[in-house]
Structure 1
Amino acid sequence: MTDTLASTPLRRILVLGGTGFVGRAFAAAWRQGDGAATLVVPSRRPARAKALSLLPGVERVGADVNDPATLRALLTGCDAVVNLVAVLHGDAARFEQVHVELPRRLLAACAETGVRRVVHVSALGIEDDPSRPAPSLYLASKTRGERLLSEAGAASLIDLTVLRPSVIFGTGDRFLNLFAALQALMPVVALAGATARFQPVWVDDVAHALATCLREPGRSVGQVFEATGPEVLTLAQLVRRAGRWSGHRRPIVALPDWAGRLQAAALGLLPGEPLMSADNLASMKVPNVASGRHPGLEALGRRPSRMVDVMAPHLSRGPQVLDQLRRLAGR
């Protein structure tokens, strides 16, 4: 089956979530290679895809992918689909809609349109053992969504590749840039989940891995890849790096678990997307690091980049920190 895939040229690729942080990087990575296929990027708010307008071969479409008929129409004529859609915050219904129901609708649309090639971005912390419950709504819903696709792949209904990244950093991220902005704003950082462990990965490394999965199905179909960087760091260490590199290093006060839960509850009452939620804290109880049960980016020919090489020069320039401060202020 992979021999047939390898000999089939990709002409059109549907990219769900293509207007987001990873999606924009993937579109750029695809164009840097020899990818001649058109990338179809739907969004309910086409203005969000404005950054993609400068890239050749990107077709922006105003569409709601949660509508089954619309999703089926988008897939018609495509040779592959990349699913990048995910949310970090919300209630149980929201997580279920995005992480479980969308993959379910995607499977149905693939069956109706004959699209077999699916590349799905999941998350580290997914439990391969279905008997072990996930500690958070986020991880539980990501597990169920990935499992739906994996079962379809095992049944040869689709040709599936799964990437499980750790937290993703890069220019324009809402992770290190946010912590840099907070330290520019506050004299002290009261930090919940300070000892949580991560293995951050550069967005360009993830993007190029996705492109390789599509170009080289022979070594990616049926595989789960753990997309991680070269370092394991605690949240406190990451916050310190963000402050040091941006020139706004502040003292960090690690909150005990009970205080962290109170902080998350208070942040959840504020308008807009919370900086930290109780569900985020629950997710961080699972180390966000490679398990070693699956191959890493090296298996896709990509050597993960060091965070200092990417983020130190970026944060030292400051514009993204200012942008984050404006967002925090609601401007």
Structure 2
Amino acid sequence: MKKILILGGTGFVGRHVCEKLTQLQWRVTVPTRHEASARHIQMLPALDVMQADVHDEAALTRLVAGHDAVVNLIAILHGSQEAFQRTHVQLPEKLARACAATGVQRLVHVSALGADMRNPDVTPSLYLRSKGHGEVALHEAALALTVLRPSVMFGADDKFLNTFAHLQKIFPVIPLAASHALFQPVWVEDVASAIVYCLQDAHAHATVGQTFEACGPGVFTLRQLVELAGRMSGINEGRGRPVIPLPAALGRLQALLMELAPGEPLMSRDNLDSMSLPNIASGNLPGLDALGITPAALEAVAPTYLGPLSGGWGLRSHLTLKRKTAGRF
């Protein structure tokens, strides 16, 4: 039985990966600072939740020991330069040292579409620059490494399309910064399947040392995605709310005001900087098809969970998605 350590296993992608790995009857370890965060996965068979701070290098080294492979899913979308550095660069550096100290070689690392390990500092945002430097740190460690770079991910419990839909439930119009930004959204189940594929021994030769771009089949502007979320969720009798594109200066002001609001911002100025780079496949790297996965279309999956804004993972969306994932990894 394989034993896999998943950093970030309580998050959006991690929960799907944990479910797939336990279906394979592999042993899974998920560290978390707060055990309540693991309530969605703690009942899965052969899964151990460990209370730990993975940023503590000594604790991380103890966690890594005895595992066959590690999956790193830990990331933040908002924060200061120091926060991005700590999460996306220093943690991979600590993880590389922990793997070296314990003899664990296999690592699957989830980065981001638009990251560039060859020239990380030329990318337009703190987020993308830190993601690129994190990849550099892991490649320099000479691990049996596979990197996945997903586009923005959607799924029944996402904070992406669900957020756009809920905003349209509240507001009569949606003023939108970076409305022409391009995305190639990918279903979270397909990303989870890609991770599991890479962990299987039969595919190690083809995936070790490789970087894969994980994208869906369709390219959309941000405005199109907001409009689709409104229509699919039945807002305004299925028409959605009017979307008002903002000029660049007003968009940046909107992002600044969102940063100053309490709680996690819906958008930041660094997000706008990231969106200045099209979030679509470059065509220079293999995609999900190279991992035996035909990516699902957003138009086929999103209506199954946006529905009447039931507030999350309802019975209808759960059953529909289970049928769609039958036979996937």
Q: Same fold (TM over 0.5)?
A: yes
Counterpart of 1:203 (choices 188, 207, 225) is 188
Distance, in Å, in 1 between the alignment partners of 2:120 and 2:209 is 22
Deviations, residues 228-251 of structure 1 (Å, cap 9, x unaligned): 000010000000000000111100
How far did residue 57 of structure 1 move?
1.2
Deviations, residues 277-316 of structure 1 (Å, cap 9, x unaligned): 0000000001000001110001110100011111112111
Match of 1:296 in 2: 287
Match of 2:148 in 1: 163
- 1:310-321 alignment to 2 at 5 Å? 310-320=301-311
Quick one: structure 1 residues 322 and 311, their matched pair in 2 at CA, closer, same or farther if it must change by over 3 Å?
closer
How far did residue 54 of structure 1 move?
2.5
Distance, in Å, in 1 between the alignment partners of 2:303 and 2:111 is 27
Q: Match of 1:258, SS?
A: helix
Deviations, residues 15-65 of structure 1 (Å, cap 9, x unaligned): 000000000011112233xx3321100000111111102211111010000
How far did residue 132 of structure 1 move?
5.8
Amino acid at match of 2:253: L
- Would you say the 8 A contact 2:144–2:209 is kept in 1? yes
- 1:170-185 alignment to 2 at 5 Å? 170-185=155-170
Amino acid at match of 1:134: T
In structure 1, runs of 5+ residues without a counterpart are: 1-9, 324-331
- Would you say the 8 A contact 1:180–1:321 is kept in 2? no
- Would you say the 8 A contact 1:169–1:202 is kept in 2? yes
Distance, in Å, in 2 between the alignment partners of 1:319 and 1:71 is 39
- Would you say the 8 A contact 1:88–1:138 is kept in 2? yes
- Would you say the 8 A contact 1:178–1:321 is kept in 2? no
Q: Match of 1:190, SS?
A: strand
Q: Match of 1:30, SS?
A: helix
How far did residue 320 of structure 1 move?
2.6
Deviations, residues 211-242 of structure 1 (Å, cap 9, x unaligned): 00001212211110100000010000000000
Distance, in Å, in 1 between the alignment partners of 2:311 and 2:153 is 16
Q: TM-score, normalised by structure 1?
A: 0.91
Q: Match of 1:264, SS?
A: helix
Quick one: structure 1 residues 55 and 121, their matched pair in 2 at CA, closer, same or farther if it must change by over 3 Å?
same
Match of 1:234 in 2: 221
Match of 1:269 in 2: 260
Counterpart of 1:51 (choices 20, 40, 54) is 40
How far did residue 133 of structure 1 move?
1.1
Distance, in Å, in 2 between the alignment partners of 1:81 and 1:66 is 15
Counterpart of 2:10 (choices 1, 8, 19) is 19
- Would you say the 8 A contact 2:15–2:41 is kept in 1? yes
Q: Figure out how many residues of one structure are paired with residues of the other and give that number.
A: 308
- Would you say the 8 A contact 1:194–1:255 is kept in 2? yes
Distance, in Å, in 2 between the alignment partners of 1:237 and 1:228 is 17
Distance, in Å, in 2 between the alignment partners of 1:234 and 1:269 is 26
Counterpart of 2:211 (choices 220, 224, 229) is 224
Match of 1:64 in 2: 53
In structure 2, runs of 5+ residues without a counterpart are: 315-329
Distance, in Å, in 2 between the alignment partners of 1:235 and 1:61 is 38
- 1:142-161 alignment to 2 at 5 Å? 142-152=131-141, 157-161=142-146
Distance, in Å, in 1 between the alignment partners of 2:76 and 2:88 is 8
- Would you say the 8 A contact 1:198–1:288 is kept in 2? yes
Deviations, residues 169-215 of structure 1 (Å, cap 9, x unaligned): 00110000000000000000000010000000000000011000001
Identity of aligned residues (%): 52
Amino acid at match of 2:76: V
Q: Match of 2:42, SS?
A: helix
Q: Match of 1:29, SS?
A: helix
Match of 1:3 in 2: none
Q: TM-score, normalised by structure 2?
A: 0.91
